Amino acid sequence: MSSSETVVDPDKVRLWSEDYEGHDVISTRTFGFWMYVLSDAMLFATLFAAYGVLSYPHSYYTGPTPAQFVAPWYTFVQTMALFLSVLVYGWAMASLKDGNKSGVINGLLGALVLGILFLALDIHDVMRLVAAGITPEVSGGLSAFYCLTQVHAAHIFAGLIWIIVMLWQVARKGFTEDVVGRLISLRMFWQFQAVMWVFIYVFVYLWGYMS
Amino acid sequence: MLVHVPGPWSPLLGRLALSEIPYKNLILAPLFVLIVLVGLALVGWITKRGLWGYLWREWFTTVDHKKLGIMYIFLGLVMLFRGFIDGLMIRTQQMLAVGPGDNGIKAMGAIHGYLTPFHFGQIYSAHGLIMILLAATPLLVGLMNIIVPLQIGARDMAFPYLNALGFWITAAGAALIMISLFVGDFSHNGWFGYAPIFEMSYSPGVGVDYWIWTLELIALGTTLGSINFLATVVKMRAPGMTWGRLPVFTWSAVSANIIALTSFPCLQVALALVGADRYLGTHFFTAGFGGNLMLYTNLFWLWGHPEVYFVILPAFGMLGEIIPTFSEKPLFGYVAMVLATFAIAGVSWIVWLHHFFTMGMGPYVSTEFSVATMLVGIPTGVKVFNWAFTMYRGRISYTAAMHWALGALFLLLIGGLTGMMLSIPAINYMVHNSVFVVAHFHMMLLCIVYAVFGAVIYWWPKVFGFRLNEAWGKIMFWLFSAGTALVFIPMFMLGFMGETRRLDWPFDPHWAGLFDVQEFGIAIYVLSVVSFVVLLFVSIRDRAKERVGADAWGTSRSLEWLTDSPVPFYNFAMVPEINARDEVAWRREHGFLDIRPDHYKAIHMPNNTPVALYIGATLFLLGFALTWRIWWLSGIALLATVALMIWRSAKGDPGYVISAEEIARLDREARQKMPVDGGDTVPVGGFAGGQIMAYSREVSDQDRSHRGPKSW
Ligand code: HEM
Ligand SMILES: [Cu+2]
């Protein structure tokens, strides 16, 4: 801090910034989206905590435990579908760097198809369980199982809608600042959901299968 | 899958029926009539003055952070009043009902006092929820909204549209809890909810559903707001505004919003799981079927304790601005202050269990949480001493704002010390769930309210261009403080005498005298509310006399005092270059304060948009429809929300540009409107932000010429 003894030359001091260009829109948005991802991470963390608390043997009441119904190989196919979707999305982003519009659209389409595959497999799995009478109403443990996995599926569903919206916007608007910013955010969202899936796969499916 | 509800249900109206409207209730029915009459009068008045267009253009569709801040504060004050009336009703019930025997007013169906237990339960649940989440939180968010961008030299928040969205979603939550007064019931099992009482089998009505969706809406709005604040401070600071120069209020906003961003998702999950139990028949928190009651309590307080620091930290930040200004000294120990702020924020995450020591988790766990809780005292003590040393040998002027700040310090002391007592499990087992706890947290929350009143007085001239009346500010302070003392000193005593919280029928006749004292205190609170209205009235009437320039107090220090009062809608005509920690004090010291830029540059501004308001409305409908289980309406509301989001994203906002010449003209005009060196006063008031739409791209020339009322 300056004290009043120091003399400041009024001609040299800069009071107003002449060359301030304003802030960088894309980097601000990306930062903001990072913040959203952080809050989403907390959401999943809380769900994992609830799952952990509700995975004692008595949490399953008289119903089945995951060891009796999860199918890690089936969900492994899901894992691959989601990972490939993220990879293909990455190609879309690589095309974005070259300004290659059809590359971006093809990448988004690929990511979309693989994401739909993931979701279809998930729905199929849920239907298999429900048909076997394994529903969330059976026990607290099953409630937590369904909640964790289906909240993730809901995120995937939202992501798919977002991909469709972006396909349309890229086709119609090209690479405006808005569109590019959203493509970057969507990539973060998509990768983050894949990371969450890794946790779910390990803790719910693999671990559940083995315990 | 869907839970079968007891009682009638129809596909069209869900559980809604005429019988859900309490038109026979002797309190609610007249209140409803009153509200409708006042509402009609207001609508008539606005129509007669032709203000709808003005309101729509300048307020409902605004994305200006100052106007949104004003609306947040307005919402907070309205809800503060509602919560106060709840408090008044609780106190009156206890005063009337105390003692053995049935002394109830039979016409109201009460055995004790004038309220039935069910109605009483709704009032105290609503009181707690409203005061913490719809009064304190919006007041603080509103002040942060106005001040943070100004303090860092930004033109607006990082995401102006998101800012509007956050506000309207919060307002939707407020509307939902207000409508529960007249349509159906509110939850009756406490603001934080007890498992498993909120389960369908024990609370079959819609009250708990209202509670869930109100909280979810507020949580969503606050999370969006916190993202915005963090992005603003990290990305939008003016050149030279390094982290080491950030004003303490902005620092406290950063820490508070980190807390909000990371903790509100826990609340959302906790309540979503309650919702799953009630709607889908899951067993998260049921007694039996493998559910776990204490899981809920843990999840709730995992958010709940960080939340209490989310509300106190900005209040600390306000004290850190008010006290130096009126002590004419820089803040003592800036670095220690910032570190203490973050220490508090960090520790706030590891103490949640002190809200239910009586869960009985054994000596090791209890000790950890006990010690962690006590640790909070260290940084808090650092802060108190820093404020004290700031005042030490300062040139203190006892303005109204300073009164409130000093009062806040005093309450912080009492609240902190009683908190320390509560953090010792051995003591906690004695007084848990007694009104001693209630008195503790009211000291803390009132500390916030004091800081907020101080901050409103302190920053009012920045926002409106004139100072509030000092004398009435002090009268209100003393009345309010007398009320505080008379209500809460007896409450501490009653806690020691064993009164548990939430008694609709306090059976022990020995308590009667203290209840009477408390009721007397409430009466004095009523007087302070009246004096607040007088304060506003007198100040607005005499606004010409109190007109101020940029540096309203003559001794202020941080950057917001550099720009004109009221703040123009573009905040700074030229973005300032920051040279020192207390930039305005520094410029004053070196005689640069009155230097205005000699040339200007074009400014890019965002357009207004009604989409945020629409989304708030659809989310309100969603909450209402879900509460009453009107599935078709829920579906439509949800689809409409998504469609609006996609539509907005497709439309985008190119914004509009104000040319350099236009800025030069506006800046000249603004300067002419300000009093010259505290000398002659110029009778022009007005709002921060002025008439923005006059410059927007989208309005016609005719709109331009009609700029709404000049001043109010
Ligand atoms: C020095 C710091 C503090 C300590 C050591 C402390 C300690 C505690 C403890 C141990 C309890 C639990 C009492 C019980 O239920 O048995 C409690 C309750 C509470 N505290 Fe604090 N506290 C502190 C600061 C605050 C602050 C800053 C606020 C809010 C602004 C606050 C608000 C509350 C609330 C709302 C409750 C009760 C919630 C309820 O049961 O409804 N406290 N405090
Ligand atoms: Cu706490």
User: Which pLDDT value is given to residue B679?
Assistant: 41
Task: Give burial (CB, 10 Å; 0-12/13-18/19+) of B566.
Answer: buried
Quick one: pLDDT at residue B453?
97
Q: How far is ligand 1, taken at its centre, from the CA of residue B310, in Å?
A: 13
pLDDT digits (tens, 9 = 90+) for B489-516: 999 999 999 999 999 999 899 999 999 9
The CB density around residue B30, as the number of other CB atoms within 10 Å, is 10
pLDDT of residue B506: 92
- Nearest CA residue ID for atom 34, ligand 1: B441
Rounded Cα gap, residues B580 and B582, in angstroms: 6
The per-type count for chain A, helices as H runs and strands as E runs, is 7, 0
Q: For residue B624, which of B20, B34, B86, B180 has the smallest C-alpha distance?
A: B180
Q: A7 lies in a domain?
A: no
- The answer, yes or no, to whether residue B547 has pLDDT greater than 50, is yes
pLDDT at B4: 86
Q: Is B415 exposed, middle or buried (0-12, 13-18, 19+ CB in 10 A)?
A: buried
Number of domains in chain A: 1
Nearest to B105 by CA among B195, B26, B164: B26
**pLDDT on residue B598:** 85
Would you place residue B106 in the very low, low, confident or very high pLDDT band (cuts 50, 70, 90)? confident
> B440-449, B478-487, B577-586 — which is least confidently predicted?
B577-586
User: How does the average pLDDT of chain B come out, rounded?
Assistant: 91
Q: Which residues of B touch A53 (CB under 8 A)?
A: 292, 295, 298
Structure tokens at A19: 């060359």
Q: Report the pLDDT averaged over residues B93-110.
A: 88
Q: Give the mean model confidence (pLDDT) for residues B544-564.
A: 90
Note whether residue A5 is domain-resident. Answer: no
What b-and-e string marks burial along B277-305, b requiring 16 or more CB atoms within 10 Å of the CB?
A: bbbbbbbbbbeebbbbbebbbbbbbbbbb
Mean pLDDT of B396-409: 96
Give the three-class secondary structure for B254.
helix
pLDDT in tens, B630-650: 999 999 999 999 999 999 999
The 10s digit of each residue's pLDDT in B2-13 is 888 888 899 999
Q: Which residues of B touch A2 (CB under 8 A)?
A: 580, 586, 589
Strand B656-658 versus strand B603-605 pairing type: antiparallel
Reference B316, options B190, B450, B213; nearest CA is B450
At the fourth CATH level, the homologous superfamily of domain B1-323 is Cytochrome c oxidase-like, subunit I domain (1.20.210.10)
Q: Would the pLDDT of B701 be above 50?
A: no
CA B289 – CA B144 distance, rounded (Å) = 46
Provide the domain limits for residue A154: 25-57+71-210
- Residue B223 to residues A193, B71, B230, B264, B350, Cα–Cα distance (Å): 19, 18, 11, 6, 21
Taking an 8 Å cut-off on Cβ atoms, the answer to whether A61 and B283 are in contact is yes
Find the ligand nearest to B263 CA: 2
Output the CA B386–ligand 2 centroid distance in Å. 24
Indicate whether B185 pLDDT > 60: yes
**Per the structure block, which two tokens stand in for B650?**
């497709």
Residue of the CA atom closest to atom 29 of ligand 1: B308
Average pLDDT value for residue range B11-39: 88
Count CB atoms within 10 A of the CB of residue A196: 23
Question: Searching chain A, which residue's CA lies closest to the CA of residue B263?
Answer: A42
Q: Can you tell me the distance from the alpha carbon of A187 to that of B301, in angstroms, rounded to the nearest whole number? A: 33
A51 lies in a domain? Answer: yes
Q: What torsion, rounded to 10 degrees, do the Cα atoms A58, A62, A66, A71 define?
A: 170
Which ligand is closest in space to the CA of residue B444? 1
* Spatial separation of the C-alpha atoms in residues A171 and B569, rounded to whole Å: 36
Which chain B residue is nearest to residue A130, measuring alpha carbons? B1
In this prediction, residue B63 carries a pLDDT of: 94
Flag whether pLDDT at B693 surpasses 50.
no
Mutate to test the pocket of ligand 1, among B433, B440, B443 (most ligand atoms within 8 A of CB): B440
pLDDT in tens, B328-375: 999 999 999 999 999 999 999 999 999 999 988 889 999 999 999 999
Q: Do the domain assignments include residue A79?
A: yes
Is the distance from CB of B136 to CB of B117 less than 8 angstroms?
no
CA A180 remoteness from chain centre: 18
Asked if B426 contacts B358 with a C-beta cutoff of 8 angstroms, the reply is no
Identify the pLDDT of residue A6: 63
What pLDDT is stored for residue B710 in this prediction? Answer: 34
Cα B440 to ligand 1 centroid, rounded to whole Å: 7
What does the alpha-carbon distance between residue B406 and residue B397 come to, in Å, rounded to a whole number? 12
Q: How far is A20 from chain B (nearest CA, A)?
A: 7
Question: Domain residues of chain B, as ranges?
Answer: 1-323
Q: What is each CA distance from B477 to B324, B405, B414, B439, B653, in whole angstroms?
A: 20, 10, 18, 20, 45
How far A87 CA sits from the closest chain B CA (Å)?
Answer: 26
Task: Name the token pair of B452.
Answer: 């907020």
Question: Measured between CA atoms, how close is A145 to chain B, in angstroms?
Answer: 11
Structure confidence at residue B288 (pLDDT) = 87
Residue B309 and residue B379: Cα distance in Å, rounded?
13
**Could you tell me the CA-to-CA distances from B105 to B96, B114, B502, B505 in Å, in that order?**
9, 5, 20, 13
DSSP letter (8 states) at residue B710: S
Over residues B115-119, mean pLDDT: 91
pLDDT, tens digit, 9 for 90 and up, residues B454-471: 999 999 999 998 999 999
Distance between Cα B284 and ligand 1 center (Å): 27
In the prediction, which pLDDT does B479 show?
A: 98
Looking at residue B76, what is its pLDDT?
97
- Report whether pLDDT(B96) > 70: yes
**Average of per-residue pLDDT across B524-539:** 97
- Two structure tokens written together for B61: 């569709």
Residue A13 lies in a domain: no
The answer to which of A88-92, A126-130, B6-10, B393-397 has the lowest mean pLDDT is: B6-10
Tell which one of B90, B422, B445, B496 to mutate to probe ligand 1, the residue whose CB is within 8 A of the most ligand atoms: B422
| Spatial distance between the Cα atoms of B508 and B506, rounded to a whole number of angstroms | 6
Over range B386-407, report the average pLDDT.
Answer: 95
- Residues in contact with B331: Cβ distance below 8 Å, sequence separation at least 6, in sequence order: B248, B320, B323, B324, B337, B386, B390
How far away is chain B from the Cα of A139, in angstroms, using its nearest Cα?
A: 5
Which residues in chain A are contacts of B577 at CB distance < 8 A? 14-17
- Tell me the CATH number at A153: 1.20.120.80
Who lines ligand 1 at CB under 6 A?
B 192, 308, 311-312, 354-355, 373, 376-377, 380, 416, 419-420, 422-423, 428, 432, 437, 440-441, 444-445, 448
CA of B347 to the centre of ligand 2 (A): 11
B113 residue type, one letter? G
Residue B295 to residue A54, Cβ atoms within 8 A: yes
- Model confidence at B684, pLDDT cuts 50, 70, 90, reads very low
For residue B603, the 8-state DSSP code is E
Chain A contact probe: residue of B295, B307, B557 with most A CBs at under 10 A: B295
pLDDT confidence tier of residue B108, bands split at 50, 70 and 90: confident
Q: Which of A118, A110, A44, A31 is nearest to B230 (CA)?
A: A31
Q: Kindly report the three-state secondary structure assignment for every residue of B497-557.
A: CCCECCCCCCCCHHHHHHHHHHHHHHHHHHHHHHHHHHHHHHHHHCCCCCECCCCCCCCCC
Note the pLDDT tens digit of each residue in A141-194: 999 999 999 999 999 999 999 999 999 999 999 999 999 999 999 999 999 999
Find, among A109, A105, A111, the residue nearest to A82 by Cα.
A111
- Contact across the interface for A61 and B273, Cβ inside 8 Å: no
**Maximum Cα–Cα distance across chain A:** 83
Q: Which ligand is nearest to the CA of B312?
A: 1
Q: Does residue B704 register a pLDDT over 60?
A: no
Helices (H) and strands (E) in chain B, counts: 22, 2
Of residues B191 and A13, more confidently modeled: B191
pLDDT of B56 higher than 60 = yes
Q: Which of the residue ranges B99-108, B111-120, B214-223, B693-702 would you say has the lowest mean pLDDT?
A: B693-702
Question: How many angstroms away from the CA of A118 is the closest CA of chain B?
Answer: 23
pLDDT of residue B519 exceeding 70: yes
Instruction: Provide the whole-model pTM.
Output: 0.93
| Percentage above 90 pLDDT, chain B | 79
Q: Is the dihedral of CA B611, B614, B620, B623 positive or negative?
A: negative
State the Rg of chain A over Cα: 24
CB atoms within 10 A of CB B645: 16
The 10s digit of each residue's pLDDT in B238-250 is: 999 999 999 999 9
Q: Which amino acid is at B512?
A: A
pLDDT band at A2 (very low <50, low <70, confident <90, very high): very low
Rounded to the nearest integer, the mean pLDDT of chain A is 93
* pLDDT above 90 for A13: no
A48-77 pLDDT, tens digit each:
999 999 999 999 999 999 999 999 999 999
Please choose, from the candidates B306, B333, B320, the residue with its C-alpha nearest in 3D space to the C-alpha of residue B250.
B320
Tokens representing residue B310 in the block: 């989310």
How many Å apart are CA B377 and CA B386, to the nearest integer? 14
CA B257 – CA B602 distance, rounded (Å) = 32
Complex ipTM tops 0.85: yes
Rounded mean pLDDT of A15-43?
A: 90
